[in-house]
Amino acid sequence: MPPLELQPGSPAMRLNRLEPDELRRRLALFLDIDGTLIDLAATPQSVVVPDTLMIVLRTLELQLDGALALVTGRSLTDVDRLFSTHRFVVGAQHGGEMRGPARQPRQELIFVAALNRLRPRVETILPSWKGLLLEDKGRSIAIHYRQNPGVAYELKTTLHRLIATEADALELLEGKFVFEIKPKNFDKGDVVRALMMVAPFKERVPIFIGDDETDRAGMAASRAHSGCAIRVGDKRDLLADGFLPSPAATRAWLRELSIRFDRGVTAAQ
């Protein structure tokens, strides 16, 4: 099994002791995408989803009777482009856009007016710096500065100043070489809470796996449902019950989990 480091006494320890078939029937997986399932790349468009990951996710989704969701900052359209051969349950745009198990896109419009008012002002300030990439997702706007990391402080200060005019409605998230402007009324925790109210997630124990500050709301919601949280990367995090060192380790861990479920079913037959 790849190196999943578990905090002593965490609920994850108890889950880990369950028989494979019991675990399979009890578990719900909430998986962040960038930096957790797939390796980071120079631009949002240049990431690669390995075929093997696609197979593992699809297999786990079947094994968990559908209780697997992708929870991401990306837009739903972008998720469907990346994972083009299957439509997963998705909490996109940090929870601003959702496709639940009923396969119906649910779009929340609250607070979006504030974002629409701010959009032209963000577009106006961007040419002040070289190498910025604007990713307008509709319900959130990402400003990537990976190509010019030196601008971080000045850009952040400017964006904070812009957002101050819509402070009741909007917030600034800090990701990996990216600042994101999003409405305040949702986060990844809402995705977990919403899905845990409906089948097939309901009654299961959630595990949220993420790599970023923006995942902490999802991690906290998972723990609040008596589940656990795993942080990917080298940051220690008090909210995390376990740690995986890299997206490659996450992929390997998910694959091992799927194999363990498969063996459990075979053993029970």
Ligand X SMILES: O=P(O)(O)OC[C@H]1O[C@H](O[C@H]2O[C@H](CO)[C@@H](O)[C@H](O)[C@H]2O)[C@H](O)[C@@H](O)[C@@H]1O
Binding site for ligand X (CB under 6 A): 32-35, 40-44, 47, 72-74, 135, 142, 144, 146, 175-178, 180, 212, 214
Cβ-based nearer residue to ligand X, 15 or 38: 38
Contact criterion met (CB below 8 Å) for 233 and 211 = yes
Considering only 35, 218, 233, 264, the residue that binds Mg ion (CB under 5 A) is 35
Cα 15 to Cα 22: distance, rounded to the nearest angstrom? 9
Candidate list 32, 187, 215, 241, residue with the active-site label: 32
Structure tokens at 116: 């629409």
Q: Determine if 211 is a binding residue for Mg ion (CB under 5 A).
A: yes
Contact criterion met (CB below 8 Å) for 43 and 135 = no
What does 175 interact with, of Mg ion, ligand X, none (CB < 5 to 8 A by kind)? ligand X
CB of 171: closest distance to ligand X in angstroms?
Answer: 14
Cα 76 to Cα 78: distance, rounded to the nearest angstrom? 5
Listed in sequence order, the DSSP H helices in 128-215 are 152-163, 188-195
Contact criterion met (CB below 8 Å) for 173 and 214 = yes
What does 183 interact with, of ligand X, Mg ion, none (CB < 5 to 8 A by kind)? none
Residue closest to Mg ion when measured from CB atoms: 35
> Residue numbers of the site for Mg ion (CB under 5 A)?
32, 34-35, 211-212
Q: Which residues are catalytic?
A: 32
